[in-house]
Amino acid sequence: MPAAEIFARIVEAQKSGIPLGIVSVCSAHPYALQAALEQAREEGTPALIESSANQVNQYGGYTGMKPADFRALVRSLAAQAGLPADRILLGGDHLGPYPWRGEPAGQAMAQARELVAESVRAGYLKLHLDASMPLGGDRLEPRGGLDPRLVARREAELASDAEEAILEAERSGRAGPPPVYVIGTDVPSPGGISTEAEGVPVTTPEELQRTVTLCAEEFRTRGLERAWSRVFAVVAQPGVEFGDQAVRPYDRQRAAALCRAARELPGLVLEGHSTDYQPRERLREMVEDGVAVLKVGPALTFVVREALFALQRVEEELLGGEPGARLSRLMETLEQAMLAEPGHWQGYYTGEERDLRLARRYSLSDRCRYYWRVPQVEDSVRRLLANLKGRALPWTLLSQYLPAQSRAVRYGSLAAEPLALVRAAVREVLRDYSRATRPADRKGV
């Protein structure tokens, strides 16, 4: 089924009062991706997999992958999981100038436009266009942030380059299904939160309407009516967020005005970001209230890290006393990598050295996800898995460190194999999203 039709069905269902949605896996970690692809195969649903502009771009991002590389990785993992290629929906998250925000505005936007075009050429079918961040030389509004019309104008520029890439493919006979678009952002309102008691600000109906109206005008000004017809979602802030140690759960009463306003938008639903760590019942409420796209990323790599750390403890129990055993020392290796290159976490964690050490390992922000591709860390993970592969892993030992997975091992529904245990941990999180986005009487999208 073409991507546009899949998302059109979600919009139609939502406008009819049917709580149908889709989960968007925003991760580049192979273990998280493979778990998501396996789940899509078993449930008969499409797998919506998205990369962010930081993770994947024309220069490689922090993963070292360009859009075409990311597509190749996902397709390879899908083949291993037994998921047909036509069930994969690739997307780009926050596609825009964020990675180059310190450069002059013209240069930053030129690079963002190239990223969008490359994403289209790589077969991305869902593009979240985000130009909300100030760039070099930008003048801020009195309360902070950019003029909303400038944001809309820049997002229309990004859409123009995406549409040109589509036309190039059509002229060369290589055209696939055209992508759908998402506009808007979930950044706090200009000025931010003035007191802790206020919590996370919820997008107001006026802000939502202004975003849609200005973007529609800017798209029309550039003759992008065809592109606008494929805009199906708006990113807004329904009041959910997570930080170092805390999660702000969804409160449907606080989001009620926003959700009512979104219901009145023709052909558009809400896309929710930062839904990581939300309780399963709150995820369900979000979809019922019209937040039809639930994005999750750090919560998946968080459980990958938990599972790998747990396996290191199992490794130490099994091999710690063996003569000549070479242990993985994964925790120590990851810590060394984060200390050697602190740029990905230093501006996010605060406190005494003990607090920083704990945050580097255990924070919900999961900044350690930026370090899994460091060669020494990759080597350590490989050694850990090799040390445990083919060994008898007693379920009683697994129960100490991976209790949920140990029960499945005990009753024969899960192999006591290290990678299977990691993927099972990821799928435990993804099941909450699957249940939230699919009405009980419907299979697939």
Structural domains of the chain, ranges and CATH numbers in brackets: 3-296+432-437 (3.20.20.70), 302-391 (1.10.400.20)
Sign, Cα dihedral of 26, 30, 31, 36: positive
Give the residue among 87, 63, 65 at the shortest CA–CA distance from 75: 87
- DSSP per-residue codes, 178-210: PPEEEEE--PPPTT--SSGGG-SPPPPHHHHHH
Angstrom distance (rounded) from CA 348 to CA 364: 11
- What is the three-state SS of 309-330? HHHHHHHHHHHCCCCCCCCCCH
Please tell me the predicted confidence (pLDDT) of residue 188: 47
DSSP single-letter state for residue 229: T
- What pLDDT sits at residue 187? 62
Q: How far is CA 401 from the centre of its chain?
A: 27
According to the model, what pLDDT value does residue 444 have?
Answer: 54
Cβ 430 vs Cβ 280: under 8 Å: no
Q: What is the pLDDT, as a whole number, of residue 442? A: 54
Q: What angle do CA 85, 89, 92 make, to 5 degrees?
A: 135
In the chain, how many H helices and how many E strands? 16, 10
Q: Which of 54, 51, 42, 96 is nearest to 69 (CA)?
A: 51
What does the block give as tokens for 368? 């350690």
Collapsed DSSP state (helix, strand, coil) of residue 129: strand
Q: Which are the contacts of 280, defined by CB distance < 8 A and separation ≥ 6?
A: 432, 435, 436
- Show Cβ contacts of residue 142 under 8 Å, excluding neighbours closer than 6 positions: none
* Measured distance CA(410)–CA(300) in Å, rounded: 24
Distance CA 189, CA 155 (A): 18
Cα separation, 164 vs 120, in Å, equals 10
Per-residue pLDDT of 370-418, as tens digits, reads 999 999 999 999 999 999 999 999 999 999 999 999 999 999 999 999 9
pLDDT for 195 equals: 36
**Inter-residue contact 257 to 192 (CB < 8 Å):** no
List per-block mean pLDDT (blocks of 10 residues) for the chain, which spans 445 residues: 88 97 97 98 96 97 97 98 96 97 97 98 97 95 90 98 96 88 74 46 96 98 97 97 92 98 97 96 98 97 98 96 91 98 94 96 96 97 97 95 96 96 98 92 56
Q: What is the DSSP string of 266-310?
A: TT-EEEE---TT--HHHHHHHHHTTEEEEEE-HHHHHHHHHHHHH
Provide the residue count of the chain: 445
d(CA 26, CA 118): 18
Contact status, residue 293 vs residue 22, Cβ threshold 8 Å: yes
